[in-house]
Each structure stands twice: as C-alpha cells, then as structure tokens.
Structure 1
Amino acid sequence: MKIIYEPRFNYQLGLLKYLHPFDGEKFSKVITELDSLNIEIIHPVGPVSPVMINEYLNELMRKLVLSKTLVFRALEVPKIPFVSFDFLDNKILLPMRLAVAGTLLGAENTLSSGDIMWNLSGGFHHASNVNMEGFCIYNDIGISYQQLRKNGQLSETDKVLIIDVDAHHGNGNAYSFKDNVNVHLLDVYNADIYPTSDFTRNRVNFPVPLKSGVEGHEYLDKLNQALKLLKADYALAFIIAGTDVLAVDKLGGFKLTVEDVAEREKLILSHLKNLEIPTVVTGGGGYSKQSASAIAAAIKACSEL
C-alpha cells in the first residue's frame, strides 16, 4: 500500500473554517497519526491542468470562473462579499485540483504496479461534468477515467468499479457515468438524506440503501453481501471511503465507530485483493473531529494487505 498526500490538500481558511463542519486540515492529522508506520508516501507533482479540467467540465468551468456565487453554493456556505475568487481558488479549488491529481496518480500507479493506492483526499462524488454541489467541485474519478482512456491505460471495453461507502449517495458519479455500461457502481448510502434523486439512485448497479441510525454490525453485514456479488472482471476499482458514517458525524445519520470504519475498509480491500483488482482509495466526506483518526485506523488495519 502507498499513501498519496500533499500538504496543500489541507484547506487553510483561517476564521472561514468555522462556516462549514468539514475538518479542512484533517489530512495532515492523518499523516501525523501514521508516523509510526513504514508506509511509502508519494506526492502529486502538481494540480491537474486547466486544460484537463476544461475537457471534462466544458461549460461548467466557464461558469465557475465567472461566478463565485456558484462556488459558494456548491461549498454550502453563505456568499461572503469580501471574499474574492482568487481566495477561493487558492484556498479551496487548488487543494481540490491537487486531490484530483492524487486520484489520477493513484489510478496510474495501481494499474502499472498492482499496489493499493490510498489518496487521502478526493472522492468528490457529488460533482459531475455538468454540476458541482455538496462540497464537490471537480469529479476526480470522472476526470481520472477520462485521462486513463485518453492515455491508453484503459480501453473502451475495460470494466471499472466504483465502491462508494460515503454516507451520502454518489449522485455525481452516477450522473457522469449514466451512459457508460462498463462503469459499475456499488453504493452504500443513507436513503433518508441528501441527495434523493431517483434518477441517479436507479443508476447504481449494486445499491445498498440503508436507514438513518444503522449501526456497524448491520452496515458491515449488508456491505459484505453486496461485495459477494462482484466478479473478478474489473480492470480498476475506485473506493470512496467517506468517514461521515461515524456516529459523531452530524451529516451522515449512521452510527458507526472508528473501529467499524477500519473494519469496513479492510473488508473491501481484502475482497478486491482476492479478486486481483487494482484499487485506488479516495477520501470522500467526513465532517467530525474523529474523521482523521478513523482514516488513520483504517490505513493501519489495511497496511499489511
């Protein structure tokens, strides 16, 4: 296993960090908690290029540059008149572009080496090629998939798997790949909360909708049942390992513990390793002070796979 991390993944927002529950500096906290482990950390050389993003986002990127209102709305914070677009770009959008680069780097490396690659950031599963929402501006998996196809590392017929265990349904990925029969989605999500689009929920190949209040044993049992449906015919797998499933998280509605999250990731990665599917893990959501500890615990639990 290799960890993908860049100090600029962290959102250095000053007092503005109190406007959103997301712990923007949790990535550095994870690295600190992993100090005792002998795990290789690799860094994206730089953020994804504007050209690459434009190819994927098309009209959306033009709108994004022209209107910081759209960005505020997508980040779920009130519009602040004195905050410039340059501030948003440097403090939030640049870290997100670096996260996209991390997901692409992870995919390229796992396809060539077979190593499990763990991008601490990324997993922006509410963004699509036509929309940004839910604290997700760029769809890193969609952009990575496009580049892998363009670079010849994936063919048109290669099957790709997205396992989404963030507490929220991955509507952006479902929309982005709505017409691609070779991209399959396994989504374990809280059916009682945002986003509630039937169109994107129906796109999921292996849906695991759960009710609010689900605890670890039931969650892990339902996940395990879904994993058993998978076959060893995927060229690549992405995991969106959101920690908003934690009981202390105010946005997820589930009641998992840090230990449950660690067991979840170990269960998924063990299953994919048995199927010999190259895998890249992405961060996903997580809006509590326990998020960093849960990520670190999961990495430690999976470090010997």
Structure 2
Amino acid sequence: MKLIYDQNYNYNLGVLKYLHPFDGEKFKRVMAELQDVVVDKLAPLKAINLNVVDEYLNELMRLKIRDEVFIFRALEVPKIPFVGFDFLDKKILTPMRLAVAGTLLGAEKALESGEIMWNLSGGFHHASNLNMEGFCIYNDIGISYQQLRKNGKLSETDKVLIIDVDAHHGNGNAYSFKDNENVHLLDVYNEDIYPTSVFTRNRVNFPVPLKSGVEGCEYLEKLTQALELITGNYALAFVIAGTDVLAVDKLGGFKLKVEDVAKREKIILSHLKTLEIPTVVTGGGGYSKQSAAAIAAAIKACSTL
C-alpha cells in the first residue's frame, strides 16, 4: 500500500474554520500519527488543471465554480463580504484541486501496479458535473474517471466500482454516473440525513441504507454482507472512507468507534485485494477531532495489505 499526501492538502481557513465543523488540518495530524509506520508515500506534482475541470463541467457550472456566492453556498457557510474568490481559491479550492490530482495519481498507479493507493484527501462525493454542495466543489472520482478514459488507461467497457462508506449518501457520484452501466456503486449511508434524493439513492447498485444510531457491530455486518455481492470483474475500485460515521461526529448520526473504522477499511481492502481489484482510497467527510486518529488507525491496520 502507498499513501498519497501533500502538505498543501490542509486548508488554512482563517475565520472560516469557525463557521464549519470540517477539520481542515486533519491531514497533517494523520501524518503525525503515522510517524512510526513504514508506508511508501507519493504526492501529486501539482493541482489538477482548471482546463481539465472545465472539461468535466457543464457550461453553467464553469461559471458558477468561479463565483464566490455559489462556492460559499456549497461550503455551507454564510457569504462573508470581505472574503472574495481569490481568498477561497488560495485557501480552499487549490487544496481541493490538489486532492483531485491525488485521486487521479492514485488511480493511475493502482492500475499500473495493482497496489492499494490511499489518498488522504478527496472523496468529494456530493459534487457532480452539474452541481457543487456539501463541502464538495469538484468530483474527484468523476474527473479521474474521465481522464483515465481520455488517456486510454480505462476502456469504454471496463467496469469500475465505487464503495462509499461515508455516513452521507454519495449523491454526486450517483448523479455523475447515472447513465454509465459500467460504473457500479456500493453505498453504506444514513438514510435519515442529507442528501435525501430518491433519484440518486435509486441509482446505487448495492445500497445499504441504515438508521441513525447504528453501532459498529451492525454496521460492519451489513457492510460485509454487501461486499459478498461483489465479484472480481472490475478494472478499478474507488473507496470513499469518510470518518463521519464516528459516534462523536455531529453530522453523521452513527455510533462507530475508532477501532470500528479501522476494521471497516481492513474488511473492504482485504476483500478487494482477494478479488485482485486495483484500488484507490479517498478521504471523504469527517467532522470531529477523532477523525485524524480514525484515519491513522485504519492505515495502520491496512499497512501490510
């Protein structure tokens, strides 16, 4: 397994950090917890080019994604008069585009080597080519898939699997791939919370909707049952490993512990490795001070895979 990280993944949000529960600097805390763990590391050379992003977006979204009014809305914080697009681009959008490059790098390396690649950031599963929401501006998996098809590393008929274990349903991915029968989605999510789109929930091939308050034992049992439906006929898998499933998280509504998250990732990655599916893990959401500890524990649990 190889880890993908750049110190510029971290969001230096300034005053904005008081307006949203996302821990923008958790990535460096994960690295601090991994000081004694031997894991090969890679970093994207630069943020994904805006021209590549534009290729993915529809015409209206190309305009919206450069407008701070729409960006504030997607970041779920009120518009701040003295904060303009340049500040947002430097502090938030560029780190996010760097994360997109990390997901693409991970996918390319996974396809080349068959190894598990773990991108600490990314997993922006609420964004699509038509919308940005839920603290997700760019759909890194959608953009990566587009580039892999463009550069010939995936063919039109190659099957791709997205396993989403963030507490929130991945509506952006479901919408982005709504017409692509070769992209299959397994989504374990809290059915009681945002996003509640019936259309995108119905797009999921292997849905695992759970109620608020689910604890680790039931969660892992339902996940394992869903994974048993997955066969090895996939060229590539993406995993969105959100830590907002933790009991201390204010937004996820589940009651998992740090050790449950570590078990979850090991169950998923062990299954995918057994099926010999090249895999890239992405960060997803996580809105508690335990998020970094859970990610680090999961990486430690999976470091020998």
Q: What is the alpha-carbon distance in structure 2 between the residues aligned to residue 242 and residue 63 of structure 1?
A: 26
Aligned-pair Cα RMSD in Å: 0.5
Q: What is the alpha-carbon distance in structure 2 between the residues aligned to residue 184 and residue 190 of structure 1?
A: 19
Partner of 2:53: 53
Q: What is the alpha-carbon distance in structure 1 between the residues aligned to residue 40 and residue 57 of structure 2?
A: 33
Q: Secondary structure at the match of 1:53?
A: helix
What does the per-residue CA deviation read over 1:112-148, in whole Å, with 9 as the maximum and x for residues that have no partner? 0111000000000000000000000000000000000
Q: Secondary structure at the match of 1:238?
A: strand
Partner of 1:62: 63
Partner of 2:115: 115
**Residue type of the partner of 2:304?**
E
What does the per-residue CA deviation read over 1:37-87, in whole Å, with 9 as the maximum and x for residues that have no partner? 11111110000001100000132122221x211000000001001001100
Question: Which has the larger displacement, 251-260 or 14-23?
Answer: 14-23
- TM-superposed CA distance for 1:14, in Å, is 2.0
Q: Secondary structure at the match of 1:202?
A: helix
Q: What is the alpha-carbon distance in structure 2 between the residues aligned to residue 243 and residue 38 of structure 1?
A: 23
Partner of 2:91: 91
**Residue type of the partner of 2:122?**
G
Q: What percent identity do the matched residue pairs reach? A: 78
**Residue type of the partner of 1:64?**
I
Q: What is the alpha-carbon distance in structure 1 between the residues aligned to residue 70 and residue 27 of structure 2?
A: 26
- Structure 1 residues 248-263: aligned runs within 5 Å: 248-263=248-263
**Residue type of the partner of 2:31?**
I
**Residue type of the partner of 1:227?**
L
Q: What is the alpha-carbon distance in structure 1 between the residues aligned to residue 78 and residue 119 of structure 2?
A: 29
Q: What is the alpha-carbon distance in structure 1 between the residues aligned to residue 137 and residue 22 of structure 2?
A: 15
Q: Secondary structure at the match of 1:15?
A: helix
Partner of 2:298: 298
Q: Secondary structure at the match of 2:224?
A: helix
Q: What is the alpha-carbon distance in structure 1 between the residues aligned to residue 64 and residue 227 of structure 2?
A: 39
**Residue type of the partner of 1:188?**
V
Unaligned residue ranges in structure 1 (runs of 5+): none
Q: Secondary structure at the match of 1:104?
A: helix
Unaligned residue ranges in structure 2 (runs of 5+): none
**Residue type of the partner of 2:244?**
D
Q: Secondary structure at the match of 2:186?
A: strand
Aligned length: 304
Partner of 2:101: 101
Partner of 2:270: 270
Q: TM-score, normalised by structure 2?
A: 0.99
Q: What is the alpha-carbon distance in structure 1 between the residues aligned to residue 69 and residue 218 of structure 2?
A: 40
- TM-superposed CA distance for 1:9, in Å, is 0.4
Partner of 1:3: 3
Q: What is the alpha-carbon distance in structure 2 between the residues aligned to residue 217 and residue 8 of structure 1?
A: 36
**Residue type of the partner of 1:62?**
L
Q: Which runs of 4+ in 1 moved over 3 A?
A: none
Q: Secondary structure at the match of 2:63?
A: helix
Q: TM-score, normalised by structure 1?
A: 0.99
The answer to whether structure 1 residue 149 and structure 2 residue 133 are counterparts is no
